[in-house]
């Protein structure tokens, strides 16, 4: 940012003293005619400025993007007001005491102990706000839950100075109560001066002097060696494959129509399955669920099983769609080297996955012989929909899995 919020407000108030605390300066601003509403407006404008300037926004959310795909991390505590953990990491915000009732409902949570820009009245900025927050954390449910987290989880402080009195009061009381049983906590910062180093070591923190985003990337890199997390470059490969599938889909329907060649319906529906699954992986990147190797592999196996069961029931359209869905997940679960070698076929007929358009064009007229019952089914679809000489019949992105899925499959 060209200027921090702290310096911006100091400039407006003509405060030369740079040692004044942030809450004190914000409190002074609230004493002007602009009042608390004016302060909140400046805070809101500050975030708006960051959002509309791409370079600032990307820098501000660098850590969040790294964290998003690290699916084992499901609990975040922040004093920040921004919505970056919600927007980039798909975290559900917990701001008020009553929110705690829904803690177990959320898959990833962010406990916002100083409020949120989406709830102006919750923002803790001034000296008065900090005093009220300290009392609220000491006696309320948010504070009680924070104590429980600090007592039962290993805590890593990233990008946090550990100087807020309200948090230090909570943290100190937990450490004091647990004594020797207090879990080791870690403090990550790119630079730690000697004064802070002494203060933090007195709090029994293990100091890690490095960039927070780099620190997280190294943890993720270590996890990939254990084959439990898929590296982030998978999402780039998935996006590239999606482009190829879309181009193949366009070529298919620009070149052929289903009325003349009913067999292309299965290729089209297979491509729909591929596209929908690849889009789903990209759309849910912020949750990290498809960075979980075991989950993604299991999804590939499940959809392959559904494809076989649909085929046995003669639901050939759903079967082709599921083969596409399965191949998308299987591709995402491969290693980077395997994805270079074993990209899925872009074209399909039962028991035939064909990589490129030229090969498909040569094989097209022979495909009906590969599965005569499926071809007959496709001919029936064409008879019921005579407009398929000029229109495309897409497969919807939903399935009636009750026909093919046992409870343990889902």
Q: What is the pLDDT of residue 312?
A: 95
| Predicted pLDDT at 400 | 87
87 and 214 share one domain: yes
How large is the average pLDDT for residues 375-384?
95
236 & 220 share domain: no
Count the residues in the chain: 410
H or E stretch including 38?
Answer: helix 35-52
Instruction: Answer yes or no: is pLDDT of 409 > 80.
Output: no
Residues 128 and 237 placed together within one structural domain of the fold: no
The string of pLDDT tens digits covering residues 1-16 is 888 999 999 999 999 9
Mean of pLDDT values over 70-78: 96
Q: Which helix (H) or strand (E) holds 365?
A: none
Taking alpha carbons only, the member of 410, 108, 156 closest to residue 289 is 108
* pLDDT over threshold 90, residue 292: yes
**Percent of the chain topping pLDDT 70:** 99
* Residue 344, token pair as written in the block: 């899925």
pTM for this predicted structure? 0.91
Please check whether residues 70 and 206 belong to one and the same domain.
yes
Q: Write out the two tokens for 96.
A: 């008020």
Evaluate whether 100 touches 94 at the Cβ level (below 8 Å).
yes
Q: Which of 13, 40, 60 corresponds to the end of one domain?
A: 60
Residues 79 and 94 placed together within one structural domain of the fold:
yes
For range 330-354, the mean pLDDT:
95
State the residue range of the domain holding 7.
Answer: 1-60
CA-CA distance, 128 to 112, in Å (whole number)? 18
Mean pLDDT of 290-305: 96
Q: Beta strand pairing status for 185-189 and 156-158?
A: parallel
DSSP assigned state of 343: P
Q: What is the DSSP string of 193-224?
A: -HHHHHHHHHTTEEEEES-HHHHHHHHHHHHH
- Co-location of 48 and 123 in the same domain: no
**Each residue's pLDDT tens digit, 117-153:** 999 999 999 999 999 999 999 999 999 999 999 999 9
Tally of CA atoms within 13 A in the half-sphere of 47 that contains its CB = 15
Sheet with 92-94: strands ordered across: 75-78, 109-112, 92-94
pLDDT tens digits, residue range 145-165? 999 999 999 999 998 989 898
- If asked whether residues 140 and 195 sit together in one domain, one would say yes
Band of pLDDT at residue 225, cut at 50, 70 and 90: confident
Give me the CATH number covering residue 182: 3.40.50
Tell me the average pLDDT of the chain: 94
Helix and strand tally (H, E) in the chain? 18, 8
Confidence of residue 405 (pLDDT cuts 50, 70, 90): confident
The answer on 317 and 263 residing in a single domain is yes
Asked whether the beta carbons of 267 and 360 are under 8 A apart, the reply is yes
My answer on whether 311 and 336 are in the same domain is yes
Mean pLDDT of 341-357: 94
The answer to whether residues 193 and 215 belong to one domain is yes
Same domain, 380 and 404: yes
Of 10, 27, 60, the last residue of a domain is 60
Residues 3 and 42 in one domain: yes
Total number of domains constituting the chain? 3
Domain boundary among 172, 200, 224: 224
DSSP secondary-structure letter at 344?
A: P
Q: Are 301 and 379 in contact (CB under 8 A)?
A: no
Q: What tokens appear for 293 in the block?
A: 């190797």
Say what percent of the chain tops pLDDT 90. Answer: 91
């Amino acid at each position: 940012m060209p200027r921090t919020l702290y310096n911006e407000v100091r400039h407006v108030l003509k405060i030369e003293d740079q040692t004044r605390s942030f809450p004190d300066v914000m409190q002074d601003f609230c004493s002007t005619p602009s009042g608390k509403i004016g302060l909140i407006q400046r805070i809101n404008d500050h975030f708006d400025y960051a959002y509309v300037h791409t370079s600032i926004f990307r820098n501000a959310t660098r850590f969040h993007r790294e964290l998003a795909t690290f699916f084992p991390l499901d609990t975040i505590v922040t004093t920040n007001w921004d919505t970056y953990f919600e927007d980039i990491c798909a975290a559900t915000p917990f701001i008020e005491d009553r929110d705690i009732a829904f803690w177990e409902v959320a898959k990833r949570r962010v406990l916002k102990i100083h409020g949120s820009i989406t709830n102006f009245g919750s923002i803790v900025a001034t000296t008065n706000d900090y005093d009220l927050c300290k009392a609220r954390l000491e006696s309320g449910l948010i504070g009680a839950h924070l104590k429980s987290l600090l007592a039962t989880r290993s805590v890593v402080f990233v990008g946090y100075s550990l100087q807020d009195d309200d948090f230090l009061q909570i943290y100190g009381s937990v450490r004091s109560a647990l004594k020797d049983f207090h879990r080791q906590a870690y403090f990550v910062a790119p630079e730690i001066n000697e004064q802070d180093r002494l203060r933090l070591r007195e709090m029994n923190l293990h100091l890690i002097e490095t960039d927070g985003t780099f620190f997280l990337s190294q943890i993720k890199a270590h996890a990939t060696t254990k084959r439990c997390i898929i590296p982030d470059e998978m999402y780039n490969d998935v996006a590239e494959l999606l482009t190829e599938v879309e181009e193949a889909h366009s070529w298919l329907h620009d070149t052929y129509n289903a009325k003349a060649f009913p067999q292309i319906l299965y290729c089209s529906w297979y491509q729909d399955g591929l596209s929908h699954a690849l889009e789903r992986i990209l759309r849910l990147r912020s949750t990290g669920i498809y960075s979980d190797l075991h989950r993604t592999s299991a999804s590939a196996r499940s959809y392959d099983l559904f494809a076989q069961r649909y085929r046995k029931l003669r639901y050939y359209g759903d079967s082709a769609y599921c083969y596409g869905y399965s191949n998308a997940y299987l591709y995402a679960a491969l290693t980077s080297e395997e994805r270079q070698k074993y990209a899925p076929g872009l074209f399909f007929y039962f028991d035939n996955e064909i990589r490129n358009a030229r090969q498909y064009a040569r094989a097209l007229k022979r495909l009906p012989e590969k599965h005569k019952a499926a071809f007959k089914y496709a001919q029936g679809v064409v008879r019921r929909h005579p407009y398929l000489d000029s229109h495309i019949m897409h497969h919807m992105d939903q399935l009636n899995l009750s026909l093919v899925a046992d409870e343990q499959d889902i």
